[in-house]
Amino acid sequence: AQKVTQAQTEISVVEKEDVTLDCVYETRDTTYYLFWYKQPPSGELVFLIRRNSFDEQNEISGRYSWNFQKSTSSFNFTITASQVVDSAVYFCALSEERNNQGGKLIFGQGTELSVKP
């Protein structure tokens, strides 16, 4: 079973539209962390945000915002007023406490976002 599911394989929007990328996770641990990474065409994954399982406060950083809801096991990512430079593959990832000494990440399949001018 997938531990991290990103049901949207591809999303295409026009510049200035808002877009939400969905992430649903599965874990039996009470302590865990959720991450979002961006992978532009250059290939390097870039860290965007980290949340721990005890902090359900939503977070906003510029045009980016994240909505963490434990009740639905979701950690969704919204880009407001999207720009062409936001075009990339976005990954949601989970770091569980169980059998995980070193913080290995379990990634979703990724959502490819295309922002057209």
Cβ nearer to another protein, comparing 54 with 71: 54
CB neighbour list of residue 21: distance below 8 Å, 6 or more residues apart = 6, 8, 11, 76, 77, 78, 79, 90, 92, 111, 113
Q: Check residue 22 for interaction with another protein (CB under 8 A).
A: no
22 by Cβ neighbours in 10 Å (0-12 / 13-18 / 19+) ranks as middle
Mask of contacts with another protein, 75-94, x by CB under 8 A? ----------------x-x-
Q: Does 40 bind another protein (CB under 8 A)?
A: no
- Chain residues binding another protein by CB under 8 A are 4, 31-33, 37, 42-47, 50, 52, 91, 93, 95-97, 100-105, 107-110
